[in-house]
Amino acid sequence: MISVTNDTKAFFEEESAPIYIYGAGEYGTWTARFMQKCGIDFEGFIDKVTDRDGCFVLGKKMIHPEMLRSLPKMKLRIIVATFRADSVMAELPWYAENIDAVCMVPIYRHLSSGTKRYNINEFLSYFRAKLITAEIPTILSDRCTAGFIYKALGKGMPSPTINTGISAEGFMKICRNPKDYLSEDMVFGYWTKVRDGIRPVGRVRDVEVIFAYEEDESQAIHRWNRMRKWIDWNNIIYIMSYKKPTPFNMELPYQVAEEFCSLKTKHLLLMKNYLYSGKNLPGCIYVEHEHFHDNDMVIESWFDLLGWINGEYEI
């Protein structure tokens, strides 16, 4: 019998059967690295790319799924660490006739669309949460980045800027004087059309904030005013990001980017497919993907999130 779960905590802490990782690619090897860092042992990898005995990845044996048929009747835990999760789960019963398996499949409901999708970073948050050695900071960002990072760390989201969009100039005003802007209640401004609907816009002094998902202006304003009271003023990180202009990510003039990168407080600037001609900015990472928003890419394959949060290095 094969059962499926996405309850990571229960999978690792309430079950005791041997573990195999299905998939020895990026998802599988990062899963293995995190498990090893957390002292969680596993038997090996299952992957169709191997057709011979004696193949090893990260010191663990890799077997073809056909070899599951030769295992004695037993119970296993299997982590489906591949974006082809649907096809794996469709085929697995044919290979695992003698096995009672609990399969960890990292499929979760998407916040905005409500659809279920594979999210490797949400799964890996279980391990990241165990490896954090520093106090979790208040992350202030000009778009939804803060929320994605908190979720990747497996922690709560004590930041008012989660699921919001703020212009570069407006966000820089907050960065210059955070207590002036975030110690004051937000008020409702007006409605604006974004993507697939109409969203509320709040105002704090001369800064406008678009709410990405709320359709009720009173709930949006209440959330901001409540969450700003949770800010740890002694531990703040600022994150600004830029790609092509959208209602949630407006133009980023070089002067604003330069001022942001000169902040004394810990900060990170993310630039997608864009370089200022002949200019380099400290504290800036250039990427060709949706950085923390990209659920199909393990964060650690391009950025050491834990090392940065734990203070082991600076950008």
187 vs 117, residue with greater confidence:
187
**Could you tell me the pLDDT band of residue 193, with boundaries at 50, 70 and 90?**
confident
233 vs 116, residue with greater confidence:
233
Residue 84 has pLDDT above 90, yes or no: no
Q: Give the integer Cα–Cα distance in Å for 30 and 128.
A: 12
Q: What is the pLDDT of residue 50?
A: 65
Domains of the chain: 2-109 (3.40.50.720), 132-309 (no CATH)
**Could you tell me the pLDDT band of residue 249, with boundaries at 50, 70 and 90?**
low
The three-state secondary structure class of 53 is coil
User: Which are the contacts of 269, defined by CB distance < 8 A and separation ≥ 6?
Assistant: 239, 240, 241, 242, 257, 260, 261, 281, 283, 284, 285
Residue 69 has pLDDT above 90, yes or no: no
Burial of residue 314 (number of CB atoms within 10 Å: 0-12, 13-18, 19+): exposed
Locus of tokens 């890996």: 124
User: Which are the contacts of 306, defined by CB distance < 8 A and separation ≥ 6?
Assistant: 128, 131, 132, 300, 312
Cβ neighbour number for residue 173 with a 10 Å cutoff: 18
Stretch 179-184: mean pLDDT: 94
CA geometry: angle 300, 166, 124, nearest 5 deg: 20
Residue 84 corresponds to which amino acid?
A: R
Stretch 112-130: mean pLDDT: 87
Read off the pLDDT of residues 1-11 as tens digits, 9 standing for 90 and up: 889 999 999 99
Residue 297 has pLDDT above 70, yes or no: yes
Helix axis angle, 145-153 relative to 120-131, nearest 10°? Answer: 60
Q: What is the pLDDT of residue 53?
A: 54
Which ranges in the chain belong to alpha helices (H)?
8-13, 26-37, 85-95, 120-131, 145-153, 168-176, 178-182, 217-227, 254-261, 305-309
Residue 248 has pLDDT above 60, yes or no: no
**DSSP state for residue 37 in the 8-state scheme:** H
**DSSP state for residue 60 in the 8-state scheme:** E
User: Which are the contacts of 92, defined by CB distance < 8 A and separation ≥ 6?
Assistant: 2, 22, 65, 78, 101, 103
68 vs 30, residue with greater confidence:
30
Helix (H) or strand (E) holding 101: strand 99-104
Of the candidates 99, 76, 64, 70, which has an alpha carbon nearest to the alpha carbon of residue 20?
A: 76
Residue pair 120/139 in contact (Cβ under 8 Å)? The answer is: no
**Could you tell me the pLDDT band of residue 149, with boundaries at 50, 70 and 90?**
very high
Read off the pLDDT of residues 28-60 as tens digits, 9 standing for 90 and up: 999 999 999 999 999 999 998 865 555 888 889
Residue 312 has pLDDT above 90, yes or no: no
Residue pair 273/302 in contact (Cβ under 8 Å)? The answer is: no
